[in-house]
Amino acid sequence: MVGASGNDGGIFLDGPQPLKLPGNDGLVNTSDDTTVETVTMPGKDQQLNTTDDQVITLSDFTREIMIRDITGENGQLRSIVVTITYKNGATSRTYTLTTYISAYS
């Protein structure tokens, strides 16, 4: 199965990775990713871009990108699955996005 072994020559790192900003290649989950992503939230004044804004580092988030051949489609159809996992207190939450790409689209 394409991508399942980590030895397929693909550029995406296998397994869940820290939610980092892309490096020079412009793609996330590759070996040249840079720092962990952040999000800026408004402070007490409820307005962004003021002195009381809060910058939150997304260090409890991971992202996994899996690209796999669809069985029986002779390499003509692949699934792309992106899974985001994060902690919400003591609980872990997971969001999964799935799409397909065809050699004919």
Q: pLDDT tens digits, residue range 85-96? A: 999 999 999 999
Domain that holds residue 34: 17-102
Question: Does 7 reside within a domain?
Answer: no
pLDDT above 70 (res 4): no
Q: Give pLDDT tens digits for 17-33.
A: 999 999 999 999 999 99
Question: Does 11 reside within a domain?
Answer: no
The CA–CA distances, whole Å, from 86 to 16, 63, 90, 101 equal 11, 9, 10, 27
Give the pLDDT confidence score for residue 1 in this predicted structure: 45
With a pLDDT cut of 70, the percent of the chain lying above it is 91
d(CA 26, CA 35): 13
d(CA 6, CA 81): 16
Question: Does 80 reside within a domain?
Answer: yes
Question: Does 10 reside within a domain?
Answer: no
Structural domain total, the chain: 1
Question: Does 8 reside within a domain?
Answer: no
Find the distance separating the first CA and the last CA of the chain, reported in whole Å: 22
**Confidence tier at 104 by pLDDT (50, 70, 90):** confident
Q: Are 100 and 70 in contact (CB under 8 A)?
A: yes
